Amino acid sequence: MRLMRPLSHAMNACSKTFFTLLLAGTACATVQAAPATTTTAAAAADISTLFTDALHCRIEFPDGRDEALAQRLRAQGVTVVDRAPGESLDLLYLFATPLEIDGTQVSSITVRGGSGSIVAARATGSLQALVQRTKARPQARSRWDLEGFGELPAQYTRAMPLRKGLDETPPRIVIGHVAGEAPDAVRWGCRSYDD
């Protein structure tokens, strides 16, 4: 199982304020979002930048079990659910107001770890436009499930640069559409690997 490494080396000045200690739980730990009343555009932009950087394989995804991050997200209308407390990484982020990232409306993000990790957005938008924007390429059907970590069929991928101190194998942007979902339903994100 891949454990999250300290993120200070991969964060910008805005995201450094999000991390302190892990939030412990015995059952499925849920941090319920309080309605945001005085959210500023700058604060929302910080959250959007954080999630955008993680989906684009620029940083290792922030650990929502971190109390400081959970408080910051809660103030922005985000619910964090730890679906496997004390076990492998399995987090769900639910956005009260979808984030617009790369022309898609992101309603939730799943973060799962095990043999590597995946940060997978559940979004609506144009699959083809997203593929063009990210410069992803089609890949063989036999690799869809393996690359998608069970979260999405990774129909398109793009290798990204190594993140200093995190990767020995290049992480990949993965993009796909789940059969049976609405035509504009898109799943996409960052797949990284344990070496």
Residue 182, pLDDT above cutoff 80 = yes
Residue 99, pLDDT above cutoff 50 = yes
Residue 37, pLDDT above cutoff 80 = no
Residue 169, pLDDT above cutoff 60 = yes
Any domain includes 135: yes
Any domain includes 59: yes
What confidence tier does 30 reach under pLDDT thresholds 50, 70, 90? Answer: very low
Q: Which helix (H) or strand (E) holds 118?
A: strand 116-124
Mean local confidence (pLDDT), 48-72: 89
Any domain includes 112: yes
Residue 43, pLDDT above cutoff 80 = no
Q: Which residue has the higher pLDDT, 58 or 19?
A: 58
pLDDT at 195: 61
pLDDT at 168: 87
Measured between alpha carbons, how far is 97 from 32 in angstroms, rounded to an integer?
14
Q: Among residues 40, 117, 28, 31, which one has the least CA distance to residue 69?
A: 31
Mean local confidence (pLDDT), 142-170: 85
pLDDT at 34: 32
pLDDT at 94: 96
Using DSSP, state whether 157 is helix, strand or coil. strand
Any domain includes 1: no
Q: Which helix (H) or strand (E) holds 82?
A: strand 78-82
Number of domains in the chain: 1
Q: Which domain holds residue 27?
A: 8-192
Any domain includes 91: yes
Any domain includes 31: yes
Mean local confidence (pLDDT), 19-36: 31
Residue 12, pLDDT above cutoff 70 = no
pLDDT at 158: 95
What's the first-to-final CA gap in the chain, in angstroms? 11
Any domain includes 2: no
pLDDT (tens digit per residue) in 110-123: 999 877 888 999 99
Mean local confidence (pLDDT), 135-160: 84
Any domain includes 46: yes
